[in-house]
Structure 1
C-alpha cells in the first residue's frame, strides 16, 4: 500500500516539529556531535532515509568515512572521544528505553562529560531524531 507524504499531509505539525530543530541548531550541542547522535539513533531505528541524510550531512561537515562506518560499533573502536562515547551511549539508552530501563551507567558517563544544560539539549536532540525516525519509517520515506 502506498503511504502518505507526512510532510504535506500535516504541514502545521511538521512546522511545529521543525521548531525543535531550530532550537537544537543553536543549542549547546555542536553540529558534528549532533550528526553522530542522529546517525546512531537512526541506525538503531532502521530509518534508511535518516541514516542516509545524517551520514551525508556529517561527511559534508568534515566527518571522516572511517568514523562514520564505525558509528554502529563505536564501543569496539578507538575512534571516538570520551565525550562522544558518553553521547552515543546516552543515545542508545534513550532510543532503546523498552529494552534498557536502567539508565544509571549511561547517565553517569553523560554527567561526567556534559553540563546540565548540555544533558537536556542532548536528550531533546535524541528525542527529536527518534520522532523523525518514526515519521520516516512509519510512512516509508526513502532516500533520494
Structure 2
C-alpha cells in the first residue's frame, strides 16, 4: 500500500524552467488547436477530468473540476463522469471523446482499439480528432508530473469568467 504523503517533491518549474516552459507551450498549442478546430472548452475539461480520474491525480482533479464548474458544467455530470458509460448525461460526441481519452490513457491495456478510434472519427473531423488526442495526451503528461512531484491539491482557483 502506498503511504499517503503529501510532502511536495522537486519543484520542476524552478529546477527546469526551460522544460516547464516547453510543457506550457505544448499545452497552449493544444488549446489553440482545439479552439481553431471548434472543440468546446467544456469537452476539453471532461477529457482532463476523466484522464485524471483514471490516473488518480488529485491535483489535476481539483483543478479541472473547478474549471469545469466555472464554465457552467453541472455537478451531476462532474460526479457521474467516472461512470459516464452508465448514465444518460453525455452526448454521443462526448462519449466518443471520453472513450478515446480512456484508450489513450490506458494505452498499455491494448493500444487504442480500432472501434474506439472509428467511433471518434465519425463524430469529429480530422482537426477536432487531433485536438482531442492532444488534449488527452497533454493531461496525461500533466498527471504524471503532478503525481511524481506530489503537487498538493486544494489551493487552485479558476480565473474569473469573461462576461
Per the shorter chain, which TM-score range? over 0.9
SS of equivalent to 2:109: coil
- The C-alpha deviation readout for 1:10-51, integer Å capped at 9, x for no partner, is 111111111122122222222100000000001101100000
TM, length-normalised to structure 2: 0.84
CA RMSD of the aligned region, Å?
Answer: 1.2
Q: Which runs of 4+ in 1 moved over 3 A?
A: none
Q: Is 1:17–2:17 an aligned residue pair?
A: no
The structure with more radius of gyration? 2
Give the alignment of 1:1-144 within 5 angstroms.
3-27=9-33, 28=37, 29-143=39-153, 144=155
Q: Structure 2: how far apart are the matches of 1:136 and 1:3? A: 10
Structure 1 residue ranges without an equivalent (≥5): none
Provide the aligned length of Structure 1 versus Structure 2.
144
Further displaced range: 72-81 or 20-29: 20-29
Q: 1:2 to 1:38 in 2, by over 3 A?
A: closer
Q: Structure 2: how far apart are the matches of 1:2 and 1:71? A: 28
Structure 2 residue ranges without an equivalent (≥5): 1-6, 156-163
TM, length-normalised to structure 1: 0.95
